[in-house]
Structure 1
Amino acid sequence: MMTQQTLTEEGLKATQHFLRCLGRYGNTPFLFPLYGLGEIPQCFCRMCAVFGGIYCLRHSVQCLVVDKASNKVKAVIDTRGQKISCSHFVVEDSYIRDEQRQSTAYRQISRAVLITDRSVLPSDSDQQISLVTIPPLESSAPAVRMVELCSSSMTCMPGTYLVHLTCSSSGTAQEDLAPVVSELFHVSTIPGEEPSEGAEERSKPAVLWVMYFNMRDTSALDSSSYSLPSNVHVCTGPDGSLGSDCSIKLAESVFHHILPDEEFCPPAPNPEDIIYDGDGPQAEGPGFDESVNTEAEEEGAAHEKNPSTEPAEMDSVADTTPSSEE
């Protein structure tokens, strides 16, 4: 979204980007994933896992182990006390302590999330996802972006609509967005209250639930804004723009800093064209390799003839139950 302060060059680049997106998937340049935007990072995680990414689930990072000589993180300690070595550490801005930040002025984003009983568009509209830019109600107020999603987007229950309102903060989120909500929707002062018959409010969608909140916009910050080891890379949270351009550019920058000789996010190959390095893909288990099965059968037969008196070896497990024979 451009403003009156936007430079001509920036406006032309944004227009060019918009036009390049036309005709790729239908007549609109806008795409919204089913089940919400959380599907985008989830898709990345799945692709990463397919090509060897390792995930330590339920191992939240408690602290960092820093080498004072090189001022680099060499390991992390999780909440279970386990030490995990690492060459780089990537973290989102909200996890950084205040004492590790430089004196920086943050921008704020005002947001409102609503659940309504019907769409703000006419009833004969067949739109499933609507994007509306609402002009400022006052000269000093910012423009508001509204995204409305129906139940076919898998983001809300059937018969309801999910509405997101976003703008740059000039006050609290409720101060910035409540006038817009009152203009477009019927907001009951008493839970369950219905608008009176024949009133103007009857034509407006009713708000079933609403939440206002402010978010910190750190998209304009860089690595010099933090007092951190050199191999700690900070990613910003969501910004106020419509797309994900800022996040993608930051991800590419961090990627090239860590792996300067690798290609960033190449197209996924056809599974049939994947060539494994080394001796080839490992078998999924002994049942997939006849030679292993044969060796196991021979070894089992040998154990039956000469049973061992030594206890079975297990991975870091010891039986501490006292014996009944003493």
Structure 2
Amino acid sequence: MADYDQDNLEDCKDVLKTKDGIDRLALHHSSVGRFSNALGALIYPIYGQGELPQAFCRRAAVKGCLYVLRMPVIALLMDKGSGSYKGVKLASGQDLFSPQLVLDPSRIVPSPLAHSSPDFLQDGSEVFGLRDAKGKVARGICITNSSLKPDVSNFLVVYPPKSLYPEQITSIRILQMGSNLAVCPAGMFVLYLSALCDDAIQGKKLLNEALCGLVSVPISGYPENSSADQSENMEEGKPTLLWSALYIQELTRGSYGSISFTPMPDGNLNYDYLLDASLKLFNKMYPHEEFFPKTTSSDKLEEDDEFDPES
């Protein structure tokens, strides 16, 4: 439940305090056995995390928000006099004005924003220092032909620091999901790997070491090798790796006046950090408003009427 080796204070970038450690243990213990059909302490959403945007879309529509698909923002609208943000320009040519703007952390803001004078700014390749990188997470997505653990489809594997090789200073987490969650075809399994890292070389080494211990990689690219030759190189008892993709994600955050960026998902399996960051961002934008106020019975009735199929 810790990211770094707590015994090596030189390399440990996150020393776990006693209270934080107890809180993590309490969260894990209270999560075990909450649902009869969910083994362990984790709940896996069907179709993966793709259901989260749909839940937000529903919630936003009920509360009077607009959720527009396939309508990219092509420019920021800036005030000529003050140079401050005042709106966005859509691909349709429509201008939308707002006092504040929240952007996806992967969004690129052009560098002329620092001394802008035009009415609007087109997207550019150079990034002004609006975002601050707070570390990196190495991530991997793999597809195998069988489960890492017989007769179990969904579970978590954790390699603590130094469990694979002496220079491993961070934990490696592997989350396996099966076809019962509609994330892959029947008979296949998806592995999600993640580990905090300093750079791409270190991150990919962490993931590759974990994969070597879990799956068998078939020999490819050599037509002269027969299937029998390949089977001799496969380790017995290990699933076969059918496809994989490894990448490095920067943990960025930042703001510039009325423009704010949401944080990137961190290396944890829960959403605690994102929820806390969202609450802080809301309080910054609306300091006198209540965050998700409780809905009264009359409000619920009105919401139901709005979505009544007979009306």
TM-based fold match above 0.5: yes
Tell me, in whole angstroms, the C-alpha distance in 1 between the residues paired with 2:307 and 2:184. 43
| 3-state SS in 1 of match to 2:158 | strand
1:149 match? 177
Give the Cα separation in 1 of the matches to 2:52 and 2:190.
Answer: 19
Q: Partner residue of 1:15?
A: 25
Per-residue Cα deviation, 1:248-279 (whole angstroms, up to 9, x for no partner):
11111122222333332346667984348xxx
TM value normalised by structure 1: 0.73
| Partner residue, 2:98 | 86
| 1:19 aligned counterpart, secondary structure | helix
State the distance in 2 between where 1:36 and 1:273 align: 28
Q: Could you tell me whether the CA contact under 8 Å between 2:139 and 2:195 is conserved in 1? A: yes
The residue aligned with 1:318 is none
Q: For 2:49, give the aligned amino acid.
A: L
Which residue in 1 is equivalent to 2:11?
Answer: none
Task: Determine if the alignment matches structure 1 residue 139 to structure 2 residue 166.
Answer: yes
Pairs aligned (count) = 272
Mapping 1:123-272, distance limit 5 Å: 123=150, 125=151, 127-135=152-160, 136-141=163-168, 142-170=170-198, 171-172=200-201, 173-190=203-220, 193=227, 196=231, 201-218=235-252, 221=253, 223=254, 226=255, 228=256, 230-266=257-293
Match of 1:101 among 96, 115, 129: 129
Relative distance call for 1:77 and 1:104 in structure 2 (3 A) is: closer
Deviation at 1:214, TM superposition (A): 0.9
1:112 to 140, 156, 161: 140
**Aligned mates of 1:110, 1:242 — CA distance in 2:** 14
Stretches of structure 1 lacking an aligned partner (at least 5 in a row): 289-326
SS in 2 for 1:6: coil
Q: Which runs of 4+ in 1 moved over 6 A?
A: 268-272, 280-284
Please say if residues 66 and 72 of structure 1, whose CA atoms lie closer than 8 Å, have aligned partners that are also in contact: yes
Unaligned 5+ segments in structure 2 are: 7-14, 110-125
CA–CA separation in structure 1 for the residues paired with 2:77 and 2:131: 25
Aligned equivalents of 2:268, 2:308: Cα separation in 1: 47
Tell me the SS of whatever aligns to 2:250: strand
**Shift of residue 186, structure 1, vs aligned partner:** 0.7
Residue 201 of structure 1 aligns to a residue whose secondary structure is coil
Distance (whole Å) between structure 2 residues aligned to residue 76 and residue 90 of structure 1: 11
SS in 1 for 2:180: helix
Residue in 1 aligned with 2:118?
A: none
Greater CA deviation, 154-163 or 53-62? 53-62
Q: Which of 33, 56, 75 is 2:87 aligned to?
A: 75
Identity fraction in percent: 26
Match of 2:52 among 23, 40, 54: 40
Give me the TM-score of the superposition, normalised by structure 2: 0.76
1-side partners of 2:132 and 2:97: how far apart?
Answer: 31
Q: Which amino acid aligns with 2:142?
A: L
Structure 1 residue 185, shift from structure 2 partner: 0.6
Distance in 1, Cα, partners of 2:32 & 2:211? 31
